[in-house]
Amino acid sequence: MKTLFSLLFALFVVTATAQHPPANGSAFSAERLARLDTVLQQYVDENRLAGAVALVLRDGQPVYERAVGWSDKEAGRKMATDTIFRIASQTKAITSVAVLSLVEEGKIGIGDPVSRFIPAFATTTVAVRKDGGGPGSPGNPGNIDIVPAKRPITIRDLLTHSAGISYGTERDVASLYEAKGLGPAAGMGWYTADKNEPICDTMARLATLPFVAQPGEAWGYGYNTDILGCVVERASGTPLDEFIRTRITGPLGMKDTQFYLPANQRERLAAVYASGRDGKIVRAPDGPKGQGNYVDGPRRSFAGGAGLLSTARDYARFLEMIRNGGALGGVRILAPRTVQLMTTNQVGALHSTTGLGYGLGFETTDRYGANGMDPQGAFGWAGAYSTTYRVDPDARLVLVFMVQMLPNATDTRTKFPTMVYQALVDPK
């Protein structure tokens, strides 16, 4: 009788758990999560992806962590969960936190003109097409007038990418930028790791070039956060790498997040690949337009917009701090109200008219369905080497996907979050 009772009780527990799964891992269907394993391995087997690291946190705890394929296929090095990746524009969120921490100290004002910290920005200009077309649009490229900016560029403009500043690759201005070692001359526009000069010198030179829209009139992606990196240096009196290490990554325990990799850790850095014409991977060449100068090189340019290296675990820890309102593990980096500014749309319809917005550092999802299965209130961004991330405060999730593909013809950026969400059977 006692044995029968034990069996019936065990059956009750299993049934109740299946119907009402507790938080963290059991909120996900193991069977459905296995679909993600299958999809990622398929990309590797078909030679469309060298390798990847995927990580999902719920309530700060890993519910899915996988390393598939190769970090360096030619060298025979398998991908590992602690492999280091070039995170490119995922650097922007970290630099934005650096800026806002100084705003909280009263050293920077969100409405301050950039020229307060970089005098060269006191008089900026804008390239206007004579045929009325937008920068780089079809028509009569290069036929431009250079006019004064209508107002000074502010810190808020840079944080929201509404300063009118691009990467200078539009054909109307590309030759002007290339002559100053920027735009096309910088490898992929945003790349500065090979420059033998401090980032503030590069940004002062940028200020002499025409931008592509008037401040506050358009959302445009470009050197905005690199300029903010210089602002951090000027406002704090500390090099950007040191500021980020002592104020953000160090306190959060992000030991593998840095601008340049020590030579003795070279083999931890994933190789960069590109999608060939047939969709199969091709190893990228050495140098600025491929592997980059993240181990060998001048190591002088700390690019706040695109320069950091990190791991999936490190970056997920940073995002968990944001999801948790600016604090993690007893360490507070930002106040909760400041985090709300970062994760709430601050530009109206400038960034998108389809339900996406942009806060002081993150793209926001303002309507369910505007960004895959993201709910309203989710936020995230990506990096040029095809890394991507999402934070879903409602479901208490952090999603990080790391690969090194440039260019990337696969659909992994959108497929990864979709495969995670289809496995989430207990969203609340």
Mean pLDDT of 367-382: 97
Q: What pLDDT is attached to residue 10?
A: 39
Active-site residue list: 89
Measured CA to CA, the distance from residue 360 to residue 353 in angstroms comes to 18
Contact 229, 249 (CB under 8 A): no
Which of 185-194, 307-316, 317-326 shows the lowest mean pLDDT across its residues? 185-194
Q: What pLDDT is attached to residue 139?
A: 63
Contact 95, 247 (CB under 8 A): no
Asked whether residue 291 falls in the same domain as residue 215, the answer is: no
Alpha-carbon distances, residue 229 vs 69, 114, 237, 242, 256 (angstroms): 35, 12, 12, 12, 20
Q: What pLDDT is attached to residue 12?
A: 36
- As given in the structure block, the two tokens for residue 50 are 């060298």
> What percentage of the chain reaches a pLDDT higher than 70?
92
Q: What is the mean pLDDT of the chain?
A: 92
For the cut 50, the answer to whether the pLDDT of residue 3 exceeds it is: no
pLDDT band of 407, cuts 50, 70, 90: very high
Segments forming the whole domain that contains residue 211:
93-238
Does residue 199 belong to any structural domain of this protein?
yes
For the cut 80, the answer to whether the pLDDT of residue 337 exceeds it is: yes
pLDDT band of 22, cuts 50, 70, 90: very low
Does residue 9 belong to any structural domain of this protein?
no
Asked whether residue 203 falls in the same domain as residue 132, the answer is: yes
Residue 281 neighbours by CB under 8 Å, 6+ apart: 47, 48, 49, 50, 73, 273, 274, 275, 405
pLDDT band of 88, cuts 50, 70, 90: very high
Q: For the segment 283-293, what is each residue's pLDDT rounded down to a tens digit?
A: 999 988 899 99
Mean pLDDT of 28-35: 96
Among 201, 221, 238, which residue terminates a domain? 238
For the cut 80, the answer to whether the pLDDT of residue 182 exceeds it is: yes
Asked whether residue 161 falls in the same domain as residue 266, the answer is: no
Among 211, 238, 265, which residue terminates a domain? 238
Does residue 10 belong to any structural domain of this protein?
no
Asked whether residue 61 falls in the same domain as residue 177, the answer is: no
Which of 24-38, 81-95, 190-204, 318-332 shows the lowest mean pLDDT across its residues? 24-38
Q: What pLDDT is attached to residue 23?
A: 39
pTM of the model: 0.92
Q: What pLDDT is attached to residue 140?
A: 65
The SS3 call for residue 158 is helix
Asked whether residue 371 falls in the same domain as residue 391, the answer is: yes
For the cut 70, the answer to whether the pLDDT of residue 66 exceeds it is: yes
